[in-house]
Amino acid sequence: MTFTEGIGLRRIDHVGIAVPDLDAALEWYAGALGGTEVHREVNEAQGVVEAMVAWPEGGAQVQLLAPLGDASPIAKFIGSKGPGLQQLAFTVADVEAAAAALRARGCRLLYEEARQGTAGSKINFVHPRDAGGVLVELVEPA
């Protein structure tokens, strides 16, 4: 059995970046790096306003995450670690199957059941302690 068997990993979906000011971050990613904002939404449940940035050649996107308030997990992240890389997200075929396969391998997931993510996706996260210090997001697209 290979490590990815039963997990259904397809590709890197996006990299999440915690930012204190979404508009300033967008200005840098678009201006300096030539990206384009392709999606924006407020996720009240996660306490963030987020924007997805893409490039003309495709590939993984950058998700900019700004806190909606001081109680937001992103605000707490920025408060303790500063702005920067917050997560690495992988596209999976079935987030519940991926979570079950990872739990069977001894990994802890942050949620018992998948939650709603960006653009109607289903998401869950592997605890950083079980992923080499990286918060790994599993994303099943809508």
- What would the two tokens of residue 134 be? 């990286």
Residue 74 structural domain: 9-140
The pLDDT of residue 1 is: 42
Asked, for residue 19, whether it belongs to a domain, the answer is yes
Q: Tell me how many domains the chain contains.
A: 1
Asked, for residue 1, whether it belongs to a domain, the answer is no
Asked, for residue 2, whether it belongs to a domain, the answer is no
Q: Model-level pTM?
A: 0.90
Asked, for residue 42, whether it belongs to a domain, the answer is yes
Asked, for residue 80, whether it belongs to a domain, the answer is yes
The pLDDT of residue 4 is: 56
With a CB cutoff of 8 Å and minimum separation 6, the contacts of 25 are 17, 19, 51, 64, 66
- Rounded to the nearest angstrom, the gap between the alpha carbon of residue 6 and the centroid of all alpha carbons in its chain is 21
pLDDT tens string, the chain, 142 residues long: the values are 455 567 999 999 999 999 999 999 999 999 999 999 999 999 998 999 999 999 999 999 999 999 999 999 999 999 999 999 999 999 999 999 999 999 999 999 999 999 999 999 999 999 999 999 999 999 999 9
The pLDDT of residue 54 is: 97
Asked, for residue 59, whether it belongs to a domain, the answer is yes
Asked, for residue 34, whether it belongs to a domain, the answer is yes
Asked, for residue 3, whether it belongs to a domain, the answer is no
The pLDDT of residue 5 is: 64
